[in-house]
């Protein structure tokens, strides 16, 4: 039997939408046009700072990406920072060395990630500032928990909040506690369907996705 210990007000669920190949290509063209003249005077440095400073900011997008309504986030749905944005910039050279095959990898994976996205564990998604502001106040301070009593001597307990999740397993052998990240849950790297049932496990995943969207 699974019990939802802390019911929360329902919010409208809007799944993450990944940027399309066309949107990313158009954003790249816009950024390229902006960088043509500055790069002639200060090559390499200007493009690096252009991408790293803008994609590493809270907005997570260059001028081209903002024009196309897309942004860069980590696989956990957070802003990536200057260091990771720098890694993305240098990772683009690997795409060029692979005869641009690295760019087309986005057509063959679930998160639409190019080679430099996979290396830096980032993704490019549709930007929805209004949704982000609405969900931030509703989700960040919340937490939800589930309890499953499989037998008189065996109980499972899962709690999820903005920082991640924790799984308690109490049995005759003692208590075991394991922490996990939101991304591990949504990506199927941890699975509680056997302990809580499929429906409750899907609720956990959906709630984790909701938190991640609010932080993007």
pLDDT tens by residue, 62-86: 999 999 999 999 988 888 989 999 9
Q: Which among 126, 29, 26 has a CA at the least distance from the CA of 71?
A: 126
Looking at residues 141-169, what average pLDDT do you find? 89
Sheet containing 164-171: give its strands across: 2-4, 143-151, 154-161, 164-171, 174-180
pLDDT of residue 79: 86
70-74 and 2-4 beta bridge pairing: unpaired
Cα 28 from Cα 12, distance rounded (Å): 32
pLDDT of residue 11: 41
Helix (H, G, I), strand (E, B) or coil at 91: helix
The label of the residue with tokens 């899962």 reads 158
Q: Which residues contact 43 (CB under 8 A, 6 or more apart)?
A: none
In this model, does residue 41 exceed pLDDT 50? yes
Model-level pTM?
Answer: 0.56
Confidence band for 143, pLDDT divided at 50, 70 and 90? confident
pLDDT of residue 141: 57
In this model, does residue 134 exceed pLDDT 90? no
φ and ψ of 160, to 5 deg: -130, 130
In this model, does residue 172 exceed pLDDT 90? no
């Amino acid at each position: 039997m699974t019990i939802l210990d802390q019911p929360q007000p329902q919010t409208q669920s809007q799944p993450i939408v990944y940027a399309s190949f066309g949107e990313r290509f158009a954003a790249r063209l816009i950024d390229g046009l902006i960088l043509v003249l500055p790069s002639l005077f200060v090559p390499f440095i200007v493009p690096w700072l252009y991408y790293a400073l803008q994609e590493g900011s809270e907005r997570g997008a260059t001028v081209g990406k903002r024009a196309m309504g897309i942004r860069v986030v980590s696989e956990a749905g957070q802003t990536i920072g200057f260091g990771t944005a720098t890694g993305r910039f240098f990772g683009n050279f690997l795409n060029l060395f692979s005869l641009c095959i690295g760019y087309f990898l986005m057509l063959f994976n679930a998160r639409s990630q190019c080679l430099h996205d996979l290396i830096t564990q980032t993704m490019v998604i549709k930007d929805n500032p209004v949704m982000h502001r609405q969900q931030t106040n509703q989700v960040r301070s919340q937490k939800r928990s589930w309890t499953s009593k499989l037998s008189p001597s065996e109980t499972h307990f899962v709690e999820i909040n903005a920082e991640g999740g924790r799984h308690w397993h109490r049995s005759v052998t003692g208590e075991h506690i394991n922490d996990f990240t939101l991304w591990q849950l949504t990506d199927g790297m941890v699975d509680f369907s056997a302990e809580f049932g499929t429906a409750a496990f899907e609720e956990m995943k959906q709630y984790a996705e909701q938190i991640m969207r609010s932080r993007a």
